[in-house]
Structure 1
């Protein structure tokens, strides 16, 4: 039976007094309260609140999390939520996130305190995943709505959503359907309850009819505002990633610390060189270390001038710049073998300004330990005393310097402080080489290298190597040793099928990181039907997560069948179909990506350590941070800092980095039209609803749906 509980005027009055809010009848003072730029997340351990917390973590937006399942947690009462600072009422949180519209027992004093606080200070509440019911402003799903899976459904942002918090989206919000055997998305679709002040922001068709039901909408009642979300999600799912920005902008009024943008960068390794080809009979790559010495005949893959023309035309068509990571010796060898001719190098050098260029060492030598390739897999060679034989500092330095000089002589527009070593060598690689080559750091110092690429699949965290800071790169599962789709699929089957199905069994040996295919892919259709959609989804997932790290492929992927382009097209075309022009992809070069990652790490560390405080009073935002720390924030269009505009435009807002001077507070002025928190007289009663029914969470939503490849 549905029950509605109303607090008495005496109870509400006591709560308002405890919150430090001036009562309207007794005070004519309209002084705006101080509202701290921090979110309160109340979690029940479910994936929805965790997803919102992850979004705030990525952006660097401060929050306090309370886990309702933990004993000894803080009690949410008036003192926990608000107090007075220098005679001014202070709201400690600018927004509240609950796992549903009311996760507390009936008659809960904590829910009463939250509702009163939200009403008094104009604090919005996000119901991260709740049942559709009148207490949340919606009809029950049984009243012409729907409860069930919405895997593969195409939701739409409404006109109100586009005019409001989701204006950066073009309209479509596709829900993933990655596995026919796993339920990934569950939702309650319903229309607003009769008489409810409810505005749908995202809707989906109700099966069996012509009406649409709300998935995300705003419910206004009793002086409060709730963002009501009626579908379950985790932080990795595309539908959440698309909506996460709007959820944060709605609950913060567009004024918050932290910022996110969508990035995509693609490095093309081994340019000017050739890549060895996979042998479909031997199931290894002749000429490389995965084949026994003397096994098979090397059959190199190398771009042609026509491939360069295709690449430059593709860049122009997509408004995108590729980073070419080059090995000068590849051209030197080509000219030596062809009487001084190298049509590919001539073409690339002629078109050099169409690309960005990165030093990849002269010969692509392995710069870690000296490899013993008489065994497969290879191992590190050792000295007589059993110590590791390392490539010398001089040899590493020569590889860097020779390639730089070659590139400068060719007129390549280089940044000399960037470096990608061959196979990310010199850095640790398990299991053979558990430590960095001790000669690597000194060689980087010799050559002024400040930014060094690493492989995100084995070295994801940014770290210092001598003078250089690493920039992790995502490997795309478009293989370096495949020029044709049939070769790619054959090798893919070898890696991702069991021994019983003719594969290597690698997927059986490493089930935590690699998923076996249910059956081998067709070598004719497998690339287009399986690999391309999967790799597109993985890469687009990184983009939508606001991850600046670049992806890397190889020059062979731009040659012959040009295997990279279907994946790149899927990412770029897919992105542009989802977002408006106000939210462009950010395409940075390597050192700028490294700078962004480094600033983020410093900022997030300071936020976690409690070294950053920020609050808003009326139209003024004040931020205090350690001297020299780059501060990141998102503000409405029209926000000023000092005498100038703050930040740059992105997704309908302004965001950017700025540094405090001598540790003095930063002051921003938001436009008067920006939503502001205001004290609401505490004389009206506050409606407290009964707890939401337990909502259904399908198995597939608590973690990413299994794929067949890792990053």
Structure 2
């Protein structure tokens, strides 16, 4: 059986030092049901798994109340920058960000790190509570600045030093040192969670006295200049996070510009300038699992870095459909049983999916290049299984053909991205080299004979098998033995058939990089094979219409289900809402990994509708409520190359310095490999190419270990 587990996103309500309450939104169950490989015995049991998930809206624990940020007080006399051992060189700063935190329990650290990780921006985290900061914290030995921007996890860096006693992690001299650095080195300051008062400095904001855990936030007149990706007129839902609506105050020497406001016009985010410094303050709490934190991150990173930084931030929507050309099982709602190999999509279904794809692209400009990836099995010993090479080319569902699905698939040769899913969907865990190769190269040949535009460097094995996640008996619950237990015969056959990018299972811990959310893995037993993880969905493999989808889902997660979670059986529309929440979090993370479904989900159960297109439309529709950034969809060969390049960059140790006098950036790669920079064109960078995404120039290039290059900054 295919066991398509899930990745759990932890759910928690965090009470942090009495400072604030931030809820972590967790997804609905993220599991898929599987289908048997044709060379194994089929089990009647559903394969599933169950994460910790949140029941509707979060609630405070009994007896617990929301606590405000402390309004600390202190002197306000500006002190000069402490003397440096070398003359300062304020025109040169490293392309790096400093996160200043307060104490080990500082909830803002995770939000700050996640925001920068999404874009791949290098950073240091400094807990200022033990020892504060010194000039050497901020200024390098040659007088250049160590950081292009500063993130404060909270505006006052306050923490509970003793029960009921709050203080700032920086003393007054430390604050002055920080501000003097920001002024001299033109480093912007971002405060992720700010109480609108006058301490430790005045942002020109005052508490409006309407603090709450939820707010509906809109762009102010100047907000689009920072949050350029926000949909004009849209609403940012701040949920499960304490927020302090503010009013503007007239402060000598301070110019404050609202960016985000609530329905009453009260300010929840603003930029301000004072004494040559640029600051941005948010008055609502952040957490990496919250929707609003994911949405504001793109604009905040671009503002903080002035649009020039190491790394890149793009968003993707990749959807794979497995088992094309093969029949699949169907869940019987009335009996709760599975009818084996009882449904294969028709020619009409295939043509309808193409129409649904075109309609989706037209309806949602952010998905203008969306394209399903069809993971096809070209062989089969039974009638109606695999591709029929004798079927004539046709674009008409009523074609007279030995296999109408094969006929119209020829017509759809460039409509989808076609990827080999092995010839007959065998498990690859124990096959010898010859049998492994016989499942791989012949399937590519079938695709070529059918005239399909195939991503020939990419491969999906049957059940994502051959990678050390298997049952020694061949069927039943699977165990993760690690990539070291992969089938080397299969890996060699994959390499010799031309595969370089192999789909892996994001739900299996050994098949993901725990240190890098956007990275794939070079296989340790065969580094020429690069693993690209995929996310499952709750459009189970054995459902073809909304009734079956809801029945199978509730049989697992509804009351009385095998893993009961919800307090009532969910309707299909409710399931789509939960599913699109999960997928939206993945999309906003900037990770390019695909979601996957199965061929039964392509059935046109009513005009213009299939489960696959319904799921995709629900995601894209929800995304479009908030953002105008395009969702990229890459062919699998390009996807594999991109994930591999992103992984190489994240591991490369790339560093950079920005000389604002000469308008140049000097880049050095410690380990060599691929790299990305934003805000710098390809001119002067080796083996480079540029793309304009969201109005920002993103350049990818390659460096050797220790290589140093200089490029111009417009």
- TM-score bracket for the superposition, by shorter chain length: 0.7 to 0.9
**SS of the residue aligned with 1:630?**
strand
The answer to whether structure 1 residue 222 and structure 2 residue 272 are counterparts is no
The equivalent of 1:48 in structure 2 is 108
Q: Compute the TM-score of the two structures, normalised by the length of structure 2.
A: 0.76
Matched residue count: 583
Contact 1:19 1:82 in 2 (8 A): no
Match of 2:177 among 82, 107, 113: 113
1:300-336 superposed Cα distances (whole Å, 9 cap, x missing partner): 2222222222222222231321111111236972289
Rounded to whole Å, the distance in 2 between the matches of 1:661 and 1:629 is 6
* Offset of residue 428 of structure 1: 2.4
Name the counterpart of 2:648: 602
Q: Do the aligned partners of 1:102 and 1:111 also contact (CA within 8 Å) in 2?
A: no
Output the aligned Cα RMSD: 2.9
Matches of 1:198 and 1:439, distance apart in 2: 65
The answer to whether the 8 A contact 2:673-2:705 is kept is: no
Looking at structure 1, the residues matched to 151 and 134 of structure 2 have their Cα atoms a distance apart, in angstroms, of 16
> What does 1:688-699 correspond to in 2, within 5 Å?
none
Structure 1: gaps spanning 5 or more residues: 23-30, 178-182, 206-210, 288-297, 369-389, 508-515, 672-711
Which residue in 1 is equivalent to 2:138?
81
2:633 equivalent among 570, 587, 598: 587
**Residue 34 of structure 1 aligns with which residue?**
92
Following TM superposition, by how much is the alpha carbon of 1:286 offset from its aligned partner in structure 2, in angstroms? Answer: 3.8
Structure number with higher helix proportion: 1
Deviation at 1:594, TM superposition (A): 2.0
Matches within 5 A, 1:645-656: 647-656=690-699
Structure 1 position 61, deviation (Å): 1.3
In 1, the alpha carbon distance for the partners of 2:687 and 2:417 equals: 32
2:425 corresponds to which residue? 364
Aligned to 1:444: 494
TM-score, length of structure 1 as denominator length: 0.76
Distance 1:639 1:228, change over 3 A: farther
The 8 Å contact of residues 326 and 358 in structure 1, kept in 2 or not, is answered as yes
| Whole-angstrom distance in 2 between the partners of 1:446 and 1:403 | 14
Deviation at 1:157, TM superposition (A): 2.1
Counterpart of 1:411 in structure 2 is: 451
Aligned-pair CA distance for 1:55 = 2.2
Measured at CA, do residues 635 and 535 of structure 1 come closer, stay the same or move farther in structure 2, by a change above 3 Å? same
Residues 1:241 and 2:294 aligned together: yes
Give the secondary structure class of the aligned counterpart of 1:443: helix
C-alpha distance after superposition, 1:128-161 (max 9, x if no partner): 111122444244334xx5200225x2x2222312
Q: Contact (CA 8 Å) 2:204, 2:255: kept in 1 or not?
A: no
Per-residue CA deviations over 1:430-459 (Å, capped at 9, x if unaligned) read 653523234322222332221111121123
Spell out, residue by residue over 1:536-590, the C-alpha distance to the aligned partner (whole angstroms, 9 max, x if none).
111121111101101111121110431122221122233334333xx31111122
In 2, Cα distance between equivalents of 1:267 and 1:669: 40
CA contact (8 A) 1:169 1:578 kept: yes
Contact 2:597 / 2:612 at 8 angstroms: preserved in 1? yes
> What are the equivalent positions in structure 2 for 1:396-435 lying under 5 Å apart?
396-429=436-469, 432-433=478-479, 434=481, 435=485
Q: Which residue of 1 aligns with 2:344?
A: 302
Residue 173 of structure 1 contacts residue 239 of structure 1 at CA under 8 Å; is this kept in 2? no
CA contact (8 A) 2:132 2:170 kept: no
Task: Answer yes or no: is 1:517 the counterpart of 2:566.
Answer: yes
- Correspondent of 1:123 among 170, 174, 187: 187
1:334 maps to which residue? 384
**Inter-CA distance 136–274: structure 2 relative to 1 (3 Å threshold):** farther
Instruction: Give unpaired runs (5+ residues) of structure 2.
Output: 1-70, 158-167, 362-367, 392-399, 471-476, 514-519
Query: Are positions 1:570 and 2:613 aligned together?
Result: no
Q: What is aligned with 2:309?
A: 256
Q: Secondary structure at the residue paired with 1:91?
A: coil
What whole-Å deviation, never above 9, does each CA across 1:268-322 have from its counterpart, x for those lacking one? 11111111111335534243xxxxxxxxxx5x22222222222222222313211
1:278 aligned counterpart, secondary structure: strand
1:18 to 84, 94, 97: 84
* Structure 1 pair 264–646 and aligned structure 2 pair: CA distance change class (3 A): same
Q: Paired residue for 1:156, among 207, 218, 221?
A: 218
Q: Does 1:316 align with 2:363?
A: no
CA 1:423–1:645 in 2, change beyond 3 Å: closer, same or farther? closer
Q: Which has the higher contact order (CA 8 A, sep 6+)?
A: 1
Matched residues in 1 for 2:432 and 2:409: separation? 32
From the superposition, tell whether residues 442 and 248 of structure 1 become closer, same or farther in structure 2 (CA, over 3 Å). Answer: same
The answer to whether the 8 Å contact 1:548/1:593 transfers is yes
Is the 2:652–2:672 Cα contact (8 Å) retained in structure 1?
Answer: no
Larger Rg: 1
Corresponding residue number in structure 1 for 2:679: 635
The whole-number CA distance in structure 1 between the counterparts of 2:137 and 2:207 is 36
Q: Give, in angstroms, the shift of residue 167 of structure 1.
A: 1.6
Any residues of structure 2 matched to 1:198-213 within 5 Å, and which? 198-205=256-263, 211-213=264-266
